[in-house]
Structure 1
Amino acid sequence: MKSRYFVGAALGVVLAPVCAQAAEAGPLDETIVVAATRTEVPLSQVGQSVSVVTREDIERTQATTASEVLSRLPGLQVTNSGGFGQPSSVFIRGADNAQSLVLIDGVRVNDPGDVGGGFDFGALTIAQFDRVEVVRGSSGVLYGSRAIGGVINLVTQRPEEEWHGRASAEYGWRDRRQVSASAAGLVGPVGLTVGGNWLKGDGYSAFNEDRGATEKDGFESKSLNARAQVELTEGLSIDGGTFWTRANYDYDNTGADALNVGFKRDLTGYANIRYAGLDDRLHARVGYGVVDTRRISDARENGTNETNGKTERFEGQLEFTPITFVSVLVGAETEKQNFNGAFTYSGVVSASNDSMSIDSLFANLTLRPVTGLTLNGGLRYDDNSQFGDRTTFAANGVYAFAGDEGPVIRASYGEGFKAPSLYQLFTNIGSQQLDPETSKSWDVGIEQPFAEGHGVLSVNYFDRKAKNQIEYRTIDFYTWEGAYFNISRARAKGLEVAMQVHDWQGFDLNLAYTYLDAKNGTTGYRLARRAKNNMTVSLDKRWDVNEFGGLRLGAELRVGGGRWDDLDNAQWVEGNTVVNLRGSFAVTQNVEVFARMENLFDEHYEVVRTYGTPGRSAYAGVRVKM
């Protein structure tokens, strides 16, 4: 234990001079984001709290899954019920996993077969993605009901005039192997992107090995992505793509080893027609997207459960900037969800086959009345076939003071409306008496650049109130049967602190701290699996020992607070402190070798009660760029 605190103190000693002396650094390029506004805008014109993770960040941290990337960001907490392939949830500012929208290349991939209509991150690898954008806080006006907690947008590699690509392979703890490759470029007038990833390992027991588990829960994952785009005439283009994943994994019963096996397949496809004209003042898009998922859980003794979900969407939007300081965005969407499943509980088989449709209109007005100030206001109208219509409102603003070292002030307000999922309504453990969830949230923050753009410090306060939030309560602890119900009131408020220093005299620093107070407003109990305090801090240093960049070493400290694992606050899960080390060396301009040690001090801990986490583990690999 003393050694862990020593490493944490050592990191603090090293970080102090970095923060104090970073003023000698050079400027960063202006970051362009899409997820916050559905259009390309500079981050300095975004009124919501946004984090952007680049391909350089992913490679520096040597992340292999999307969950790893997201867990390093302020305001986000990740809970894994075991290893790879097991259910993994992401809470944005205390919002439920199903209350956040997940996009791949701008296409919604939330699973209509998921219990809450959310997205299970358990089997999503990160190798095929170049960029991750996270919008914290309600984005329901622009994106609809699934975005009342936030938006996560994962972006694959984009084609350029010359072909470029990358490939990597790594091997490590418990025979885990991973190979990935991605390439993009032009074939005549057509821009193409292709990529793939394979991951397989023996894994570790989903039921905590410290509690007596002996068998390992292995996994295998395959994924492919492709994208094509072509300009038909000046300003008119079409694009389309697909993303496919297939995962097989073993899992355990809650509280015991078991020879259960699981399967999950996701298929996403999309196509768009785009137009840009009037000296780039008019942008229009018409698109189609489909998400098809299948999940099978074979619990052997208790039978097999199968869920199939499909969502089809047609949408169109138009953005017009009649004068420099005014932009108008309007759009319409129609979506149909289909769900069917067969469930076995206590030897009784039940089936479900249901659907739901949503028609929506939205509009957003952007004003830039003076230099540095951007204001946004929008309305959305949703008509749900099961729960009627609802109108929601959102507004946000940002003011960027002049100069590279000027502060940026942001504030936002957003409303949300989310209908219960088909799973929650119509399965054998569902209830058609559920009411839709609604929310009102606001935040305010300040961002202070320093070091001529190499460093930035941000502090955000947020407050979110929800009504009729849907929760699940276990009724029979032998069969694990339960029921869904509404909480009359829930509230999540807190503070986010983040600091980044990029490429200052070879140093990279990342700090993310979150204080979260998330409670059931009726009982006063804390919401399950939300830690009050969560922090990640890392420091990397590069030495240019050769012409290719040379050696990079890094250390990371992760501190997760304790949390209640149930609604009644009867089952407590202790906090944890984990230290990771990593390093890489550029052999040539295009070849780099890397290695990392995770959980250096072999911390034994749980995030979800009775479920295991990895012990001390090591990995090594090679990365090639072309």
Structure 2
Amino acid sequence: MKNSKSFGRIASAPALSLIALAVAVQVQAQVLEINPVVISATRMAQPLSEVLASVSVITRQDIDKSQAASLADLLRGEAGFEFGRSGGPGSTTSFFLRGQESKNVVLMIDGVRSQTDGIGALTMTHVPLSQIERVEILRGNAGALYGEAAIGGVINVTTRAGAGEPKAYGTAMMGSRQTSELTAGYGGKVNDITFDVNAGASESVGFSAMNPAKNATVNPDRDGTRDQYVAASVSQKMDASLRLGLRANAKTSRTDYDTDNSWSGLKTDTNQFQIKSDSVGVFANKRFSDQWTMDVDLAQTHFAYEAIKNGTVATNARYEGRQDVLRLASTYALQDTTLLNVGIDRANEAFNQRTVYDMKRDSQAVFAGVTTQINRWNFQANVRRDELTVDRNSSASSLQKNYVNHNHLLGAGYQLSPEWRLTSTLSTGFRAPAANDLVGAYGNPNLQPETHRAEELGLVYNVSNALMRVVYFQTQTQNTIAYDSQYKPQNTGEMSNKGLELSTRSQIWGNQVKGALVLQDPWNVTGGFLPGRRAKQYGSLDVSRGWNAYDIGLKMNASSSRSDFSYAGSPMLAGYATLDLYVSRRLSESLMLRAKLENALDKKYELAGGYNTPGRGLFITLQYQPK
């Protein structure tokens, strides 16, 4: 694969195609939700144009139109978001926000923090898209709102809950690489009960996860994936002031993967990993008065991972995790323009390799926040105190560490005119060492938490048919936790990042336009190198519009070169640009036929060194969704 000479050259051909489409097709404009309500930025509902932090929203309409294969593919192209993946959809995936490490990201599902494993990595990066109602991406340090590890930001997933008259819905999809998916659901409202239940299954024969041309020892066979999943939610309005509810879901997936067999076995060896996850939770919303409301969530999640070699579970390759969570948040309107939010978060987590060690992490936090408006000014202040206890017990040693951290966020916005608004924030955050970093052959009991400081200055333009945001940010991380040449974690010093983010949701000349561009400079100051798999420039442009009975569009994603690993002298991954084409046609009020030509130009690129990515593929979806 040839290195790109510049980000501009990478993006130029698809961008010209987008302009040509916008000029050539003169048709009726479509409806795009320009200014949706968001919750992530303050833990309270606000229009997107009024939040001080940098936030993106992906609606159910956006999900359907994207025809994305996974959560990572759905988020791809959003400002601030990058990912690495060891093969196709279903493979091991790492999320990066605002140039931060993949462990410095928090994933929330229905307000409950997703579990991490023994090294602090997310365990739930493959949420079925058929179960999602919307996604909010909060970029930048949110430690004062969401606590430990929310340094890069927060991905907040809201699942389907049902609304309106009960209706069935579903999809049937088939496409390249013998890919297929079937989903079905039923949801709505009956009297005071709101409910939704859905299930699905998908599979693909895939392609060789690793590139045999770069590593002759890998098994060159296809590496496929198979998923089955089910989810349900129900809530009842008990009286005028109280609603109680229950959520539950379960998922099983099995994914083939490649490994370097030069030291671990034969070229003909087959490798798979199987993941089982489930969760159940109860929630309540209580309105004490017109000014005072309270939300309570209790949830338990379970995660199990098995590595399978030649049909047999590999030695010491079974992992399990459990998490019990309590979240209580109360909102009080001090006056029409001032809202107060206070609450507690508690979590008890356990993770173990069944025959070798046990790890536990208990956390508790109290938080408070206030937003207020004074004439043309808006202000936001958040404070949070986190206490964590991390335990690690192995056959050789054990250790317990306690961490206490206080963080804050201060923000201000000024309305320059009805269309233009200035915003700014100053925030602090932290990430504690993971349990597996502390004890064992590669552990370091002397590790200290990372500490983080961030500043942002933004400009927002908001009119009826456009919402655009430009943000300048800079971040500094002290006591960065990284691995040395012996794979031992160390506090290696300072990391920094600064740059510009541009994002838009607009209706332009009848076109629906979503776009993002990031120009950043992530850098390990102490070591003098570029952090792994984070580009200095990347972006996307998605343009679509109606044409008679059709909705046609295309999306371009582009990225400049990236370091493959986080150390000096790491190999580089070349820059790339991909182009997706999509079209849909409404067959009736309830039926929609969709098609997508993914990676239409069949570009070869890497998201992790030596691993393949999907080539050109055609996918057809029949969607049943009554209005």
Structure 1 length as normaliser, TM-score? 0.89
Correspondence 1:319 to 2:343 = no
SS at the partner of 1:115? coil
After TM superposition, give the deviation of residue 532 of structure 1 in Å. 0.9
Correspondence 1:561 to 2:560 = yes
Which letter maps to 1:315? R
Give the equivalent residue in structure 1 for 2:171: 168
Given the alignment, which residue of 39, 45, 54 partners 1:34? 39
How many equivalent residue pairs? 596
Given the alignment, which residue of 351, 357, 362 partners 1:357? 362
After TM superposition, give the deviation of residue 514 of structure 1 in Å. 1.0
With over 3 angstroms needed to count, the CA separation of the structure-2 counterparts of 1:468 and 1:118, relative to structure 1, is farther
**Greater Cα offset, 8-17 or 461-470:** 8-17
**Greater Cα offset, 564-573 or 29-38:** 29-38
Q: 1:357-436 residue pairs with structure 2 within 5 A?
A: 357-370=362-375, 372-385=376-389, 386-401=401-416, 403=418, 406-426=419-439, 428-436=441-449
Given the alignment, which residue of 100, 105, 118 partners 1:100? 105
Q: 1:301-312 residue pairs with structure 2 within 5 A?
A: 303-312=315-324
Where in structure 1 are there 5+ consecutive unaligned residues? 343-349, 476-481
Deviations 1:194-240 (A, max 9, x none): 12221101011111254356211111011211111111122112122
Distance 2:115 2:600 in 1: 35
The answer as to whether partners of 1:313 and 1:335 remain within 8 angstroms in 2 is yes
The answer as to whether partners of 1:487 and 1:520 remain within 8 angstroms in 2 is no
Distance 1:181 1:424 in 2: 42
With over 3 angstroms needed to count, the CA separation of the structure-2 counterparts of 1:79 and 1:117, relative to structure 1, is closer
Where in structure 2 are there 5+ consecutive unaligned residues? 3-8, 390-400
CA RMSD between the two structures: 2.6
Q: 1:155-304 residue pairs with structure 2 within 5 A?
A: 155-211=158-214, 214-254=220-260, 258-279=269-290, 281-299=291-309, 303-304=315-316
Distance 2:253 2:485 in 1: 27
SS at the partner of 1:218? strand
SS at the partner of 2:87? coil
SS at the partner of 2:177? helix
With over 3 angstroms needed to count, the CA separation of the structure-2 counterparts of 1:351 and 1:184, relative to structure 1, is same
Distance 2:80 2:573 in 1: 20
Distance 1:341 1:559 in 2: 39
Structure 2 length as normaliser, TM-score? 0.89
Given the alignment, which residue of 113, 133, 136 partners 2:136? 133
SS at the partner of 2:74? helix
Q: 1:3-14 residue pairs with structure 2 within 5 A?
A: 6-14=13-21
Distance 1:380 1:593 in 2: 48
The answer as to whether partners of 1:229 and 1:237 remain within 8 angstroms in 2 is yes
Correspondence 1:341 to 2:353 = yes
With over 3 angstroms needed to count, the CA separation of the structure-2 counterparts of 1:74 and 1:30, relative to structure 1, is closer
SS at the partner of 2:145? helix
Task: Determine what percentage of the aligned residue pairs are the same residue.
Answer: 23
SS at the partner of 2:414? strand
The answer as to whether partners of 1:325 and 1:368 remain within 8 angstroms in 2 is yes
Distance 2:417 2:241 in 1: 34
The answer as to whether partners of 2:338 and 2:370 remain within 8 angstroms in 1 is yes
With over 3 angstroms needed to count, the CA separation of the structure-2 counterparts of 1:261 and 1:231, relative to structure 1, is same
Given the alignment, which residue of 445, 453, 471 partners 1:440? 453
**Greater Cα offset, 520-529 or 256-265:** 256-265
After TM superposition, give the deviation of residue 387 of structure 1 in Å. 2.6
Which letter maps to 1:573? L
The answer as to whether partners of 1:298 and 1:304 remain within 8 angstroms in 2 is no
Distance 1:614 1:507 in 2: 28
Give the equivalent residue in structure 2 for 1:552: 551
The answer as to whether partners of 1:28 and 1:454 remain within 8 angstroms in 2 is no
Give the equivalent residue in structure 2 for 1:462: 473
Distance 2:559 2:260 in 1: 22
After TM superposition, give the deviation of residue 293 of structure 1 in Å. 0.9
Give the equivalent residue in structure 2 for 1:577: 577
With over 3 angstroms needed to count, the CA separation of the structure-2 counterparts of 1:27 and 1:357, relative to structure 1, is closer
Distance 2:62 2:297 in 1: 31
Which letter maps to 1:35? S
The answer as to whether partners of 2:346 and 2:364 remain within 8 angstroms in 1 is yes
**Greater Cα offset, 586-595 or 201-210:** 201-210
With over 3 angstroms needed to count, the CA separation of the structure-2 counterparts of 1:541 and 1:218, relative to structure 1, is same
The answer as to whether partners of 1:88 and 1:120 remain within 8 angstroms in 2 is no
Which letter maps to 1:9? L
With over 3 angstroms needed to count, the CA separation of the structure-2 counterparts of 1:118 and 1:467, relative to structure 1, is farther
